[in-house]
Amino acid sequence: MGKLILVTGGTRSGKSGFAQNLAESLAGPRYFIATCPKVDPEMDERIRRHQQARDVGEWWTIEEEIDLGGIFGRVRDSRVCLVDCLTLWVNNLLFREEQAGRILTEQRMRNHCEEVIEQIKKYAGTTICVTNEVGMGIVPENAAARLYRDLVGSCNQIIAQAADEVILVSCGIPLVLKD
C-alpha cells in the first residue's frame, strides 16, 4: 500500500519547493504530475522555471490536468510521485464541468477525490500532493469564486483525512499537522 503525504500552504509559501525537496530525499525514480494548464505566456514561463528546478533530480514529468487517478496505473515503475497541484486540478475539473454546462457539486468533488485516493493506495510508492490552503483568506465576492474556494477546501479535507502525513508550509517553514 502506498504512502500519501499532503503538503499545503498559502500562495508563495514555499510548499512546492518543500515538496520537491522531500521527494528528492526519497529513493527514485520519480514522477512529477503537473496539473497546470498552459493558458498564457506568463504561465508558460512559470512552468518552464518549475521544469528547470527539476532538471537535476531524476524526474520524469507527466502533464495531466484531469485524470489524476489514471496516472497511477502508468507510474508503477516509480517510487515517488509528486502531484503539483490539487488546487489547479480542482480548477480544471470545475472548468471542464462548466464547459459541459454542468455544476461541479461537493459530492462529485468527493467522488473525484475518493477515486484518486483509491488509486494512490494501490500504488506501492510515496505520493506527495501539493495544494493551496484556501480557508484563511477573505470570502470571495462572487458565487463562482466561492464555489471554487469551497471545492478546494473540500478536496483538501478529503485528501488530508486519507493522508498518512499532512504538512503546512508557511514562510518556507514546514509545520507537521498529521504524522
**Residue 40 to residue 17: CA distance in whole angstroms:** 23
3-state SS string for the chain: CCEEEEEEECCCCCHHHHHHHHHHCCCCCEEEEECCCCCCHHHHHHHHHHHHHCCCCCEEEEECCCCHHHHCCCCCCCCEEEEECHHHHHHHHHHHHHHCCCCCCHHHHHHHHHHHHHHHHHCCCEEEEEEECCCCCCCCCCHHHHHHHHHHHHHHHHHHHHCCEEEEEECCEEEEEEC
**Among residues 10, 24, 50, 164, which one is catalytic?**
50
- Clarify whether 50 is annotated catalytic: yes
Residues that are catalytic: 50
